[in-house]
Structure 1
Amino acid sequence: MDFFAAQDRARRNTGRLVLLLVVAVVSLVAMATLAVALVMVISEGGQQQAGGEPLARALDPYLLGSVALGVLALVVLGSLFKHLQLRAGGRAVAEAMGGRLLNGNVRDADEQRMLNVVEEMAIASGTPVPAVYLLEEPAINAFAAGHSPQDAVVGITRGAIERLDRDELQGVVAHEFSHIFNGDMRLNLRLVALLHGLLLIGLVGHMVLRGTAGRRMLGGGNRNNNGQAAMLALGAALMVVGYVGTLCGNIIKAAVSRQREFLADASAVQFTRDPNGIGGALKKIGDHQQGSQLEASNAAEFSHLYFSRGIRAASGMLATHPPLDERIRRVDPQWDGELPSSAERRDSGEETAAGPASSGESRGRDARQLMAMALATIGQLDQAHLDDARRRLDALDPRLLEAAHDPGAARAVAYGVLIHLEPGTRAAQRELLEGVADPGVLRELDALEEPLAALPADQRLVLLELAIPLLKQLSTAQYATFKLCLERLIAAEAAPGALHWALYRVLVQGVEGRHSRRRDRALTALTEPAAVLLSSMARAGSDDDDEARRAFAAGVAELAPLALDYVPGPTAFAELDMSLDRLQRLNGEGRRQLLAALAGCVEHDGRVSVREAELFRALAEALDCPLPPLLDTH
């Protein structure tokens, strides 16, 4: 799977889908306008009124325009209202479904196992660690939701974590991560908002119908019979138009969703190299009494987000998911049609031992091979990186691992990583936090001094990624203080480099999310900010300016015939921020080219240092390009 092509394809498909829905909305507005206009004319007395035939007066441009604007405003306001409800991203969906946050709030072994699987998958793929929500539902189901990887969440049901073994959970989570990689999440949330606007027409019609019927029952007699009949007709017309529109929207939604589910299933097998994982989960759904049916009152609203069908929906064109047996046979062509016994208990839940880290396989590769492999793994998953992620988590000091999962100590972890980038400035930076940072957080920071000092350089980004879901839970006041402290720590560095800024940027962007931007620019239109980032990457590999210039030239060679000018350093953090903000407008091919040039800077001297590898990964993450940890750095 080509990550950049998949992302661009998702954006094109989103545009086409939105255009198709706009055509449907225009058609529905026209139908509703004509119905409302006719009812208004009839309610005024029909032919007896001066002004001609009802149909002729109903087609009056002024009347049609006024009604069309009203109906269109109803659809737009309904969609906008739902969009604003969902602007928090995946968290809004999970909370609407009654989910409970697991990060920092694990209560039993099943929940811990699920959190471990998600964290391993995120670290192995280079994506931000998503928040994990548990739905207290007996069904076996899951979903991924959000506007971007920064605000993505993974939801899982109680039935899934209790009945699926570790390999099956990994297959389900890999399926959901495929939706994150392929850009499906934003499309799904836009569908929810648009369909809500269409549904609102029918809901208004239903309200008019009920209100008019109620007045007729209370009023008695024949008074205002014509007007009441007209209102009944209006309510019925709006209901029909609204529900026909919703039906059309649901057909479009279902058609798109079914194809994305097949792709996500195939990606899960590709990522884990184990068809028995996702295949076993699908078979258990088929054998489970509750299946994948969710009981939440608003489950239908998010039906296209789920791992498997979450509602008792009609089949055929309205089915949001392909038939279960067809999905199983696609991942397991040898399946004989038998399902596991419902009485069969899942595995004990013990963590399977990670195989030998694949870094042994990659030892001896030169820098060019290593960076070529890194670029090839963007938006990908494989067992080697999953094993490496588990090894990295197991190697973390338990005190740091516990702190990264604690709502209070997570801030201390972030401060500690930045403070320990340069040993010579630790004491001065620690003093800067006095009187600003929360005293309890400072006590946690002091308690973590020993494990932070011993933290391997290639574990810093991993530790920060684990802490980000907890940092997202900070109140507005807490986050303002936290960000102020981060800025003070960065400003106190004696010789701040691009890695300091990149780690700070990963933290801030991970907590705040990324502002939505159109990705329509080619690299040729953004050469100045690209030169700033390439120059900073070149200096990360050497303190010698001549060597940095040679590294920069090697990177620019990857962009031939495009020419860029070296930007002497050091570069102010504000300029780096501005450059990265502009580069987030790059299209898929532009981001591919930029990362190839950054890789050229790194590999030019035949080695890849930990500092270069971590900066490269941090920049890729800031550009929304999920890059797994490099398996061999030195």
Structure 2
Amino acid sequence: MRIMLFILTNIGIIVTFGIFTNIVLPLFGVRLEGTGLLLVFAAMFGMGGSFISLLLSKKMAIKATGARVIEQPRTADEQWLMQTVARLAKEANIGMPSVAVYGGQEINAFATGAKRDDALVAVSAGLLQNMQRDEQEAVLAHEVAHIANGDMVTLTLIQGVVNTFVIFFARIVANLVSNALGGRNGQGLGFFGYIAVVMVLEVIFGLLASVVVHWFSRKREYAADAGSARLVGKDKMIAALQRLKGSKETELEGNLVAFGILGKGRELLATHPSLDDRIAALQRL
């Protein structure tokens, strides 16, 4: 279903842009040359970059956080982690993820990976030191729910779509500005002026696109919380979220922030809902 969604979404983009550039714009006397080729390159870079990042996400996450993947448990905590993740993965009908521990002092955990049956669940040292076992179990269930829901692939798909929009429309608008100044293909602005306008537009459109991506990121946190409640009970998940209120801000960066249980950012650019909102949603279940 995710593969079909990916294909249909990209077909939808191509059809939409085709109608826009070949029907809508000509009605206003605007004709753009080379938009089909531009769209192909926008999709290649927009979608391709996102999915390459997803395919490398496990290795990149391990390197970025300095996490150690547990091959053979060294302590009772690591033994419990492996056993608990294995049980939760079986209940969620996914393959056993790799389990890792990293040295962050915040109370946090994240999941990543391109496949439901080949993912990674990592927890911080701060989580092991500052959470009770029931709370740790709920956090692990939350991350397993992310994997079971296919959130990594879906978020990558949405990021790729908005990347395509940003790349494509930044150049379309820059061409319109250039045409208005009496030139074509950037000649009206001049080469460096055209590049400068494209860069500014990509920043503006990228900011607007990130609002969409972060909105989805917040929605999927509610779903993962509910998934944890189904696996271990909502009281445990509520207790875990209450405990997170005492954590320092996440040390994760980049895409890992969206995949952690503890978010970052404010208002429209927040990767996660507030902890109070998440607790209230669980209480309503």
Q: TM-score range with shorter-chain normalisation?
A: 0.7 to 0.9
Q: 1:76 matched to which residue of 2?
A: 44
Give the CA deviation at 1:150: 1.7
**Separation in structure 2 between the aligned mates of residue 95 and residue 203 of structure 1, nearest angstrom:** 34
DSSP 3-state at the match of 1:151: coil
Judging changes above 3 Å, is the alpha-carbon distance between structure 1 residues 78 and 115 closer, same or farther for their aligned structure 2 residues? same
User: Which runs of no fewer than 5 residues in structure 2 stay unpaired?
Assistant: 172-186
Q: 2:200 matched to which residue of 1?
A: 240
Deviation per CA, 1:448-482: give whole Å up to 9, x if none: xxxxxxxxxxxxxxxxxxxxxxxxxxxxxxxxxxx
Judging changes above 3 Å, is the alpha-carbon distance between structure 1 residues 123 and 70 closer, same or farther for their aligned structure 2 residues? closer
Contact 2:70 2:101 in 1 (8 A): no
Q: So what's the TM-score if we normalise by structure 2?
A: 0.74
Q: 1:282 matched to which residue of 2?
A: 241
**Separation in structure 2 between the aligned mates of residue 253 and residue 20 of structure 1, nearest angstrom:** 20
DSSP 3-state at the match of 2:123: strand
Give the CA deviation at 1:193: 4.2
Give the CA deviation at 1:128: 1.6
Amino acid at match of 1:66: G
Give the CA deviation at 1:162: 2.0
Selected match of 1:255 from 203, 208, 215: 215
Selected match of 1:188 from 116, 138, 155: 155
Judging changes above 3 Å, is the alpha-carbon distance between structure 1 residues 19 and 80 closer, same or farther for their aligned structure 2 residues? closer
Give the CA deviation at 1:76: 1.8
Contact 2:234 2:282 in 1 (8 A): no
Q: 1:522 matched to which residue of 2?
A: none
1:22 lines up with 2:18 in the alignment: no
1:118 lines up with 2:70 in the alignment: no
Tell me the matched-pair count. Answer: 264
**Separation in structure 2 between the aligned mates of residue 65 and residue 96 of structure 1, nearest angstrom:** 44
Selected match of 2:275 from 299, 307, 324: 324
- For residues 364-379 of structure 1, the aligned pairs below 5 Å read none
Contact 2:104 2:251 in 1 (8 A): yes
Contact 2:110 2:122 in 1 (8 A): yes
Over the residues paired in the alignment, what is the CA RMSD in angstroms? Answer: 3.9
Deviation per CA, 1:392-450: give whole Å up to 9, x if none: xxxxxxxxxxxxxxxxxxxxxxxxxxxxxxxxxxxxxxxxxxxxxxxxxxxxxxxxxxx
- For residues 20-99 of structure 1, the aligned pairs below 5 Å read 22=13, 26=17, 61=31, 64-66=32-34, 69-70=37-38, 72-87=40-55, 91-95=58-62, 97-99=64-66
**Separation in structure 1 between the aligned mates of residue 61 and residue 12 of structure 2, nearest angstrom:** 26
Give the CA deviation at 1:104: 0.9
Deviation per CA, 1:31-87: give whole Å up to 9, x if none: xxx9xxxxxxxxxxxxxxxxxxxxx9xx5x5xx323662464145235314423432
DSSP 3-state at the match of 1:144: strand
Selected match of 2:190 from 207, 227, 230: 230
Amino acid at match of 1:165: Q
**Separation in structure 2 between the aligned mates of residue 195 and residue 108 of structure 1, nearest angstrom:** 44
Amino acid at match of 2:33: G
Q: 1:294 matched to which residue of 2?
A: 251
**Separation in structure 1 between the aligned mates of residue 201 and residue 270 of structure 2, nearest angstrom:** 22
Deviation per CA, 1:500-537: give whole Å up to 9, x if none: xxxxxxxxxxxxxxxxxxxxxxxxxxxxxxxxxxxxxx
Contact 2:114 2:153 in 1 (8 A): yes
**Separation in structure 1 between the aligned mates of residue 119 and residue 136 of structure 2, nearest angstrom:** 18
Judging changes above 3 Å, is the alpha-carbon distance between structure 1 residues 15 and 72 closer, same or farther for their aligned structure 2 residues? closer
**Separation in structure 1 between the aligned mates of residue 125 and residue 89 of structure 2, nearest angstrom:** 21
Give the CA deviation at 1:257: 2.2
Q: So what's the TM-score if we normalise by structure 1?
A: 0.36
Judging changes above 3 Å, is the alpha-carbon distance between structure 1 residues 82 and 267 closer, same or farther for their aligned structure 2 residues? closer
Percent identical among aligned pairs is 24
**Separation in structure 1 between the aligned mates of residue 210 and residue 7 of structure 2, nearest angstrom:** 16
**Separation in structure 1 between the aligned mates of residue 255 and residue 262 of structure 2, nearest angstrom:** 14
Contact 1:75 1:197 in 2 (8 A): yes
**Separation in structure 1 between the aligned mates of residue 166 and residue 8 of structure 2, nearest angstrom:** 17
Q: 1:629 matched to which residue of 2?
A: none
Q: 1:273 matched to which residue of 2?
A: 233
Judging changes above 3 Å, is the alpha-carbon distance between structure 1 residues 286 and 11 closer, same or farther for their aligned structure 2 residues? farther
- For residues 387-536 of structure 1, the aligned pairs below 5 Å read none
User: Which runs of no fewer than 5 residues in structure 1 stay unpaired?
Assistant: 1-7, 35-55, 205-226, 334-634
Q: 2:260 matched to which residue of 1?
A: 306
- For residues 546-557 of structure 1, the aligned pairs below 5 Å read none
Give the CA deviation at 1:171: 0.5
DSSP 3-state at the match of 2:87: helix
DSSP 3-state at the match of 2:251: coil
**Separation in structure 2 between the aligned mates of residue 20 and residue 326 of structure 1, nearest angstrom:** 36
